[in-house]
Amino acid sequence: MSTEAKNSTRKTTAQKTTRGTTKKSTAKSGWDAKALIHKQRTYFAQGNTKSYDFRLERLRKLQEVIETHEEAIVEALQKDFKKSPFETYATEIGFVLGEIEHARSNLASWMGAKKVGGSLLNFPSGSYIYSEPYGICLILGAWNYPLQLTFGPLVGALAAGNCAIVKPSELASHTSVVMAKMINENFDEAHIKVVEGGKEVAEKLLTEKLDYIFFTGSVRVGKIVMQAAAQHLTPVTLELGGKSPCIIDKTANLDLAAKRIAWGKFLNGGQTCVAPDYLLVHKAVKPRFMQLFKEHIKAMYGDDPQQSPDYPRIINQDHYKRLVGYLKEGRILTGGDTNDKERYIAPTVLDQLSWNDQVMQEEIFGPILPILEFETIEEVAQQIAHHPKPLALYLFSEDTDHQKYITENVSFGGGCINDTVAHLVNTNMPFGGVGDSGIGSYHGRSSFQTFSHQKSVMKKATWLDVPLRYAPYKGKMKWLKMAFRWT
């Protein structure tokens, strides 16, 4: 197909999808959770999803559907967030397509049985690990990156050979409609189904017996999901959040630090689970850093970020009002402008705060950045350790001893040295939290492993049967101890 024809097809699809945002979602027209799960369980039991060819073809199909609906996705995210096409592709579309391409390229290797070392006690034998799909997986997506945080896990579920029920967040309503259309018009619901709706839909699904649950969202809702999963002993992955610190010591390249922190913090209007949540800046470099930080905000978004086509808005009025409340605390060093009608909050830095202020008690999830001071790197580690383990941590430093100290003495999900957020795009590294910031990980091979049960199988030879393990045991103890030492 020519480029012109492809563009025409995409435009038509986008127009149809936009016209289709007229409340015709699956959940709103009525659906039966038990019937859907039964249908998928029957389909899975027939072995339809397990072959390499099937998995590869479904991944290819998902890639094709996303590419065909690119314009519709961009339009939906513009309506939900006023998000620019560039940011939409970089953080949503391109991200998921990269996951699909990585999975397609490595699927054969991932699916193969892995031979592992044996044991003298089991001689002669061979030991193997088989990756087995769980079955029916529920994916509960988040609103802040609605495509990436919903379809990203879906890639892992499909690569691992599962069926999937996908529930997007209702807060990003326009994107939810597009995702439902993309999946439900192109895939058999016995394999993949998107169901839309609010928390009542999620609650209905969580009461059913599922084989795996993948949730991205808040700590509060994560606890509810885990409680529901416990009723059926269903395994879960929880991708949560928390207050991710960003440390700037006196050896840091301040200009580059200011630029990269401004990018990572104000990406998606600050509504990023791994955004720098607060700064810990060495007091000696704080004035210079703030001067550079203001300059880079201006370079990225202009004198008036409200007029910038690249600066997103807050998702809804509830989140907007919550964030505006934080502006009453501390002293505003830069920003602070708001617009109720547009749900606009300027890139803002707050100073003169303590850990007792409300803005330091919970994840901010918006374009507001508190700044605290420190004098020693040990003081930094102690401050972070007194609070729940964060999903991410960022350190700007040219001091290799400081880099080593923070990496070895502070617990966090993942992060960067001399950058922010960018570690997410490396499909070779698992992404996930620790403690309050989450359970389990995904991306790349980790996604495949998350949605696969690792089944251990020992194949024992029959040409020799060592008599050591059989009774009577008299005179065998020394040989048993020797065998365990050699294992």
Q: Which residues are catalytic?
A: 239, 273
As a residue count, the chain comes to 487
d(CA 269, CA 248) in angstroms, rounded, equals 22
**CB of 92 closer than 8 Å to CB of 73:** yes
Written as one letter, the residue type at 460 is K
Q: Which residues pair with 141 in a beta bridge?
A: none
3-state percent breakdown (helix, strand, coil) of the chain, nearest 5: 45, 20, 35
**CB of 400 closer than 8 Å to CB of 421:** no
- What stretches of 69-147 show up as alpha helix (H) in DSSP? 70-81, 85-88, 94-111
State the pairing for strand pair 236-239/438-439.
antiparallel
169's tokens: 């967040």
User: CB under 8 Å to 359, separation ≥6 — which residues?
Assistant: 326, 329, 330, 350, 353, 368, 370
255's tokens: 């200009």
Residue with tokens 């409200």: 306
d(CA 277, CA 393) in angstroms, rounded, equals 9
Tell me, what DSSP letter sits at residue 162?
Answer: -
**Residue 359, burial from CB neighbour count under 10 angstroms (0-12, 13-18, 19+):** buried
212's tokens: 């795996």
122's tokens: 């089991």
* CB neighbourhood size of 234 (10 A): 21
d(CA 75, CA 82) in angstroms, rounded, equals 9
Q: Among residues 417, 405, 104, 22, which one has the least CA distance to residue 248?
A: 417
* DSSP per-residue string spanning 232-260: TT--EEEE-----EEEE-TTS-HHHHHHH
* CB neighbourhood size of 399 (10 A): 14
Tell me, what DSSP letter sits at residue 149?
Answer: H
Residue with tokens 């570690």: 423
